[in-house]
Amino acid sequence: MSMTFTQDNFESEVLQSSVPVLIDFWAPWCGPCKVVGPIIDEIAEEYDGSIKVGKVNVDDEPALAEKHGIVSIPTLVVYKDGQLAGQKSGAAPKNDIVALFKGLI
């Protein structure tokens, strides 16, 4: 199951993570986000221990979304060693999402 990232836990859970982190910036009213959401949860289960997977609700965390330059959702972001390692906007099939982090694990 994926985590929920917030302004309060972003540094400890994402920037200080010892494994790569996949983040789904989304909102409950976003149609494409509803398509990507179950794929993100599936990836979280399949890669448990290899990567950390979480979501940021842009309605609940607008400052966090703005800080990361999120202008459209869904946007998928990968961090490794506290640094941005990949990003993709829009709905994508599972293999495209996995390709964002596969080379980092």
Domain that holds residue 39: 3-104
33 is catalytic: yes
Task: Assess contact for 19 and 3: CB atoms under 8 A.
Answer: no
> Structurally, how many domains does the chain consist of?
1
* CATH code of 66's domain: 3.40.30.10
Q: Model pTM? A: 0.95
Helix runs in 47-93, H state only: 62-67
87 is catalytic: no
pLDDT in tens, 51-81: 999 999 999 999 999 999 999 999 999 999 9
Longest distance between any two alpha carbons in the chain, whole Å: 32
Under the banding of pLDDT at 50, 70 and 90, the label for residue 2 is confident
| SS3 (DSSP) at 6 | coil
Q: Which amino acid is at 77?
A: V
From 30, 51, 56, 100, active-site residue: 30
